[in-house]
């Protein structure tokens, strides 16, 4: 189904295909091999690049919706090592339940506060954290708060989209150079 959708997008003229859910990593290679345009389906694909920007002893806090799916093999599919990451499941947060279980009311402020508290706790227990990656596609609305409260760079699928877009839709430079 995803491959068919990717082929339709390609026929419509897209220059790249980017996914949102981090767990699309499981089908990254199959979709990439099925089309001729660049494919970046998972926010997790950014881990090797993020790691290159950090000091050797620093790690990436990866917030995942489902901890069971975040195995060493899952990370290896992106040429990333789970040893470079501190994985934290946030799917069990009560404030995340409306997203995970399709409940009718999401308390946005509570979820934001809970996510900030989770990351601040991670920072306190793991001072080696140098960046945050939000695996779940429902988390980018909280990236600015996480950045503001922790001072750390925060990556998610929107940073992946912006990166991919900037490569396939180049803009002219203006002004003094």
What's the CATH number for 2-168?
Answer: 3.40.50.12500
Q: Which tens digit of pLDDT belongs to each residue from 8-61? A: 999 999 999 999 988 899 999 999 999 999 999 999 999 999 999 999 999 999
Q: Which tens digit of pLDDT belongs to each residue from 110-125? A: 999 999 999 999 999 9
| CA distance to 76, 85, 115, 116, 142, per residue, from 123 (Å) | 24, 13, 12, 10, 17
The structure's pTM equals: 0.93
Domain boundaries along the sequence of the chain: 2-168
For the chain, what is the radius of gyration of the CA atoms? 17
Is the pLDDT at 177 greater than 80, yes or no? no
Q: Which two tokens stand for residue 65?
A: 């919706």
Three-class SS of 123-175: HHHCCCEEEEEECCCCCHHHHHHHHHHHCCCEECHHHHHHHHHHHHCCCCCCC
Q: Are strands 59-64 and 129-134 parallel, antiparallel or unpaired?
A: parallel
Crossing angle of helices 108-125 and 143-150, in 10° steps, is 40
């Amino acid at each position: 189904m995803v491959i068919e959708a990717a082929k339709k997008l390609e026929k419509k003229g897209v220059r790249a295909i980017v996914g949102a859910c981090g767990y699309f990593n499981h089908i990254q290679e199959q979709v990439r091999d099925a089309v001729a345009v660049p494919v970046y389906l998972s926010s997790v694909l950014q881990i090797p690049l993020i790691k290159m920007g950090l000091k050797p002893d620093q790690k990436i806090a990866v917030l995942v919706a489902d901890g069971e799916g975040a195995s060493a093999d899952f990370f290896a599919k992106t040429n990333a090592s789970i040893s470079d990451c501190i994985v934290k499941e946030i799917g069990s947060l009560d404030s995340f339940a409306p997203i995970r279980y399709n409940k009718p009311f999401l308390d946005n402020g509570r979820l934001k506060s809970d996510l900030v508290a989770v990351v601040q706790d991670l920072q306190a227990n793991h001072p080696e954290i140098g960046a945050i990656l939000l695996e779940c596609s429902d988390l980018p609305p909280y990236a600015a708060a996480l950045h503001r409260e922790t001072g750390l760079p925060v990556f998610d699928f929107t940073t992946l989209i912006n990166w991919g877009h900037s490569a396939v839709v180049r803009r002219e430079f203006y002004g003094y150079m």
